[in-house]
Structure 1
Amino acid sequence: MSEPAHLAAVRESYDAVAVDYARRVKEPVELDPVSRAMLGAFADLVRSRGPVADLGCGPGKVTAHLAALGVPVFGVDVSSRMIELARAAYPELRFSVGSMTALDIGDGELGGILAYYATHHTPPQWLPTVFSEFHRTLAPGGVLMLAGHVGEEEHLRPTHAYGGHPVSYESYLLPPDRIAELLHRAGLVVTTRMVQEPEGGSKRQVGTFLAHRPE
């Protein structure tokens, strides 16, 4: 399968902003209490299930946070520059370059997947492919945590980000009901759905979903 066209823009943009992104993105311990609690709950659910993939791991801060909670986690990101920064910051952890549309992970290999603010650059027509990859790589009973901004369907085209660097990626907001339906169609069972209202200067709602591949 040929690479989706949007991935080149995401890769090039995050390679360009990687250093400033790593400086600006919050450490997990600095997140709001609910977000920290959801990451902790995910860690509890997957800690004994086998390998866990942090997809769209960026500079590895959340990957390292999960590892500190006892999760056997590794990181994957489409940006090679992000992976370089993650490897330099956390040399004890495993990081690799890869895409959520075609994961270099075997069928049923994972006990868990974290997609933390990682799917919003994926055009909606590609989400079924991404969610099918989640289903394929999760073992029966394996748990997915998906989190990110949600809202009425919206297509955003930023031109600059993270320190003023020009970017060419696009972002997509979807309603929580649609995300849940797409997860269901991919064969995943949604067990928890939470929407946080904007706070701290943010203008966007945050949706968090816990789902699992049926036993």
Structure 2
Amino acid sequence: MPPSDPVSPEAVDRLLAAPPEDAAEQSPAAPQERPSLRGRAVARARRTARAAAARRLGAVYQRAAEPVNRRLELMVRDAVDGDPAVEQVRELASRGSLDEDRLRHRDEAERVTRVNLELLKGEVRHVQELLDELGMAFAPATGLAGAGARFAELREAVHGLERRMRSSAGPTDPGRSTGPAAPSTADAPEGAAAGSLPDRSDQLESTLFDYVGFERRFRGDPEEILTTLVDRYGDLLRDHQPVVDIGCGRGELLGRLSEQDVAVIGIEPDPGMAVEARERGIEVHEELAGPWLRSVPDHSLGSIITTHVLEHLQLDDLIEVLELAVTKLRPGGVFISETPNPASLIVLGNSYLLDPTHVRPLHPSLLAFLCETAGFRDVRLQFFSPATGYHLPRVDLSGHREAPDWAVELAGSVDQGFSRLNEVLFGPQDYAVVATTPPAAD
């Protein structure tokens, strides 16, 4: 067979697996027969042919496998060369893992950082010493931790002194201001005694106005209002009993609290509403807040709440209610008053002007100031119900990639302006002042 002839693998396997002819000739049937000279020559020629065929086959396989092996070697080399991890390993190996310059720079940066940290610690210690000295100057017994309480005590002492000076001023003092201790008699009828008139708050502005019907139409769903009040103040009122609701109306809030075994008292001057509140099994006093508060013992109440009441009072009557509340509440007692928020201009144009019995809008800062001067310790403001339905929409282009930079910047400026307008024009429609009386003296 010429060397160039193709040899199939099957043929080679059959050739190699075939038994030699001389073995076939020596069959068991004739074990004693001796092969002839011609037979031995033929067998030797066949063995030589098989060996030559096997060598040619090996050469063919080797020539066919060489390009495959070379291609596999190139593929492996390309894959290794393209791996960034292998490249980093080679780079680190070539540089000796980490060169000495980088180690030197790292050590220097660590030393500088440690020095700066020690300097910063020294400055913090110095500031702490100054704060400790300042705290000891204000509150020698407790230091900085008691400085806030000491400030509150000083404020209460100053306001208490002002109240005593105002109440002790004679009627002929030129600097005397009309206060709750001596109601004004400027509007007294002729012939009436100076001390025989009730406070201005005891006089109804009109007996013809149907306020009950007005509330039913414009105040909103009573059940929703009740749920809102319980959510906002229920837990705080339960923790400070007994609860007094000044202007309790039909007694919805007190009725809900009494169902939870909370001791409650209602103050309601309107006879019709007082009757409805009593039908809920609530103790209701059919009079105004000032006279009733003056009649109860000092430090006997846990909390006082008024909702949309203080804006109906004259200034002197309002101050009297606040000062009496401080006196009648226990140490740590709570005073809550919710009222329309005139800082949101939509309130002035809608709900506030709609009610003809409102006397004056009470700005949140003003009511907080009045509570402080009355003697309350901790005064906080909480805001509710922003008029989101009127809010100007935002122009946000931050998510638009195709928008130019100048348009995004302009939209941001417009959004800031809209946010300020929304706060001033359509901000929270109600707010509450939550104040506490000073704790008991040690």
Q: What's the TM-score bracket when you normalise by the shorter of the two chains?
A: 0.7 to 0.9
How far, CA to CA, are the matches of 2:243 and 2:238 in structure 1?
12
> 2: CA distance between counterparts of 1:67 and 1:26?
21
Confirm or deny that 1:206 pairs with 2:430: yes
2:290: which partner in 1? Answer: 101
**1:139 alignment partner AA:** R
Q: Is the 8 A contact 1:115 1:146 kept in 2?
A: yes
* Aligned positions of 1:20-39 closer than 5 A: 21=215, 26-27=221-222, 29-31=223-225, 35-39=229-233
**Contact 1:11–1:79 under 8 Å retained in 2:** no
Instruction: Look up the match of 1:148.
Output: 339
**In structure 2, C-alpha distance between the alignment counterparts of 1:184 and 1:111, rounded to whole Å:** 19
Q: 2:312 aligns with which of 118, 121, 146?
A: 121
* Higher strand content, 1 or 2: 1
Q: Which residue of 2 aligns with 1:40?
A: 234
Quick one: distance in 1 between partners of 2:235 and 2:206? 30
Counterpart check, 1:171 vs 2:359: yes
Structure 1's 35 and 128: CA in aligned 2 closer, same or farther, altered over 3 A? same
Counterpart in the other structure of 1:185: 373
Aligned to 1:196: 384
What whole-Å deviation, never above 9, does each CA across 1:106-133 have from its counterpart, x for those lacking one?
A: 2111011111222110123332111011
Q: What is the TM-score normalised by the length of structure 1?
A: 0.76
Structure number with the higher helix fraction is 2
1:180–1:190 Cα contact (<8 Å) kept: no
State the number of aligned residues: 199
Q: Which has the larger radius of gyration?
A: 2
Q: Kindly report the root-mean-square deviation, in angstroms, between the aligned alpha carbons of the 2 structures.
A: 3.1
Task: Determine the C-alpha separation between the residues in 1 that align with 2:373 and 2:367.
Answer: 10
> 1:11-90 maps to which residues of 2 (within 5 A)?
12=207, 16-18=210-212, 21=215, 26-27=221-222, 29-31=223-225, 35-46=229-240, 50-88=241-279, 90=280
Contact residue 229 and residue 253 of structure 2 kept, 8 A: no
Q: Which consecutive aligned stretches of 4+ in structure 1 deviate over 4 angstroms post-superposition?
A: 22-25, 32-35, 200-204
Q: Which residue identity is paired with 2:200?
A: A
Structure 2 portions without partners, runs of 5+: 1-182, 184-196, 391-425
State the distance in 1 between where 2:286 and 2:220 align.
20
> Does the 8 Å contact 1:11/1:78 carry over to 2?
no
Amino acid at match of 1:173: P
What's the CA shift string for 1:151-207, capped at 9, x where partnerless? 1597x665xx6xxxxx6x333211111101101111112343111244488977211
User: How much does 1:87 deviate?
Assistant: 1.4
- 2:389 and 2:208 map into 1 onto residues whose CA distance is 24
Partner of 2:146: none
Distance 2:389 2:198 in 1: 36
CA distance in 1, matches of 2:317, 2:362: 13
Q: Does 1:3 align with 2:198?
A: yes
SS for the counterpart of 2:244 is strand
Q: Percent identity?
A: 21
What amino acid is aligned across from residue 225 of structure 2 in structure 1?
L
